[in-house]
Amino acid sequence: MLRGIVFSGTCSRPIHAECAIHQQIRRKLKQMENSHSCNLGRALTALPRKIIGVFRRSSNLDGNFHLANDSEASQVPNPKVPVRRPIPSVPQNTRPSRGLRGLASRIVPSSRRQAWQLAHDQTARIKQLQHDQRVMRKMLTEQHQLLGQLIKSVGDLTPRTELSRSLTTLEGQVVAQAVTLKEEIGSVGATISAVQKRVDSLMDREADAFRSSQELIWSSVFHDTIHGTAWFNNQALAPGRWAVGYPFLYLLYRLLNEMQPKSILELGLGESTKVTSQYAAWKPGVRHQVVEHDQNWCDFFRQRFTLPSSSQVAVLNLVTQEYKEDPAVLRYAGFAEAFGDDTYDLICVDGPFGFQANVYARIDVLDLIPQNLARSFAIIVDDHDRSGERHMANEIQSKLTESGIEYSQSVRKGTKETWLVTSSDLSFFTSM
């Protein structure tokens, strides 16, 4: 609160007092301008109590203010301001100078409310500046702390950098060793591949040699078996390759000679036909039927081998037909219609071609099972080592099982495999 200064139309102070007050006010204002965080209250307290008197409103209606007398101004002691000698009063009719009145009009408000408002605004401004100063100090402290952490991090980063360099060097060495090891593995892999190919080739050759040896054994067994036969006189045969092998011929001869079937069906004209036709010519009442797709081969065969009247050859064209998951199975056209009216003791399967089969091969015989089989029967299938013939053999077993027919089966291995399935009463043939 501002006290002690009251202006009116007249002045009771001499001129030299005005100059001293003016100088003090200028000094204090200068100090306030130089320091933005100064305390207005402290600055105003430091002013002489002569000018910090209580403003009071004059009883005059013109709204002017008059300066309080010495007794009123001295009621507020100020220990920081030395006690001064009282200044003689100026007569009431003496008016203050123009400069003092202009200064008063700029310094002193025209009313007490304005003075209070000014003091309040200055105090709020000082508080705001002090708050800003505290915020700045807090921010500066945080910056210092952050800088300290950064310096500490940089200090901690130095060994990490060395470790990172070491790891990078080690990584490079590991990568180089890995590349070298990969090259060595590649070289070893190539060597292993070459060795594996060589081993596979040797194993294939060994398997061929084993099959050939088995074929030779079956050849010896076959020739020993047909020695002194009563009906197999023309023994000029060329087994192997596309023709049946010695395991097939051995089983066929044993079945013909000991089973002595009455009705025989051959799928494919060839070396087996030479054996079967001689049996049919020797055994009265035997019906021997052969199905072939190639007329030229039939003519060529007849020129070199005379078929008896008991042997009949039917030429049926080849067609492809869908069977289960196989969309195109090679088979004889009209096979079921041509051979579906007879009952067969023995069926020999060596046609049509089966090397190009997708899933199944030589499925024509399935049309005759079980309704065209005799009570005692035997079925011989050549090339059982191929997947098409194996799948067909599985189908035969499935049909027999579904029909409730008991059977026995076995495989003979030579250069090729021969599969035999018989009725249960002829199961001893599967162990011969």
User: Along the 432 residues of the chain, how does pLDDT read in single tens digits?
Assistant: 334 443 444 444 444 555 666 676 667 666 665 654 445 455 445 444 444 444 444 333 344 444 444 444 444 455 444 545 554 444 444 455 555 555 555 555 456 677 778 878 888 888 888 888 888 888 888 888 888 787 777 666 666 677 778 878 888 888 888 888 888 888 888 888 888 888 888 888 888 888 899 999 999 999 999 998 999 999 989 898 888 999 999 999 999 999 999 999 999 999 999 999 999 999 999 999 999 999 999 999 999 999 999 999 999 999 999 999 999 999 999 999 999 999 999 999 998 988 888 899 999 999 999 999 999 999 999 999 999 999 999 999 999 999 999 999 999 999 999 999 999 999 999 998
Q: How far apart are CA 380 and CA 403, in angstroms?
A: 20
Region of 263 (left: φ > 0; alpha: ψ -120 to 50; beta: rest) is: beta
- So what's the pLDDT on residue 190? 85
Cα–Cα distance for residue pair 244/270, rounded to 1 Å: 8
Strand partners, 408: 422
pLDDT at 75: 47
User: How many whole angstroms from its chain centre is CA 126?
Assistant: 67
Rounded to whole angstroms, the Cα distance separating 338 from 336 reads 6
How is residue 424 annotated by DSSP?
A: G
Residue that the structure tokens 């100026």 belong to: 90
Name the residue among 220, 235, 224, 225 with its Cα closest to residue 258. 225
Burial of 411 (0-12, 13-18, 19+ CB in 10 A): middle
Q: What is the pLDDT of residue 103?
A: 56
pLDDT confidence of residue 256 = 96
Look up residue 278 and give its DSSP letter.
H
Whether the ω angle into residue 370 lies within 30 degrees of 0, i.e. cis, is yes
Q: Which two tokens stand for residue 209?
A: 């040699």
49-88 burial: b if 16+ Cβ within 10 Å, else e: bbbbbbbeeeeeeeeebbbbeeeebbeeebeeeeeeeeee
Domain regions of the chain by residue span: 15-108, 228-431
Record the tokens describing residue 275, joined without a space.
């054996």
Question: What pTM does this model have?
Answer: 0.58
Give the separation between CA 44 and CA 135, rounded to whole angstroms. Answer: 26
Give Cβ neighbours of residue 419 (< 8 Å, ≥ 6 apart).
Answer: 380, 381, 384, 389, 390, 393, 409, 410, 411
Q: Which CATH number fits domain 228-431: 3.40.50.2300, 3.90.400.10, 1.10.1740.10, 3.40.50.150?
A: 3.40.50.150
Q: How many residues are listed for the chain in this entry? A: 432
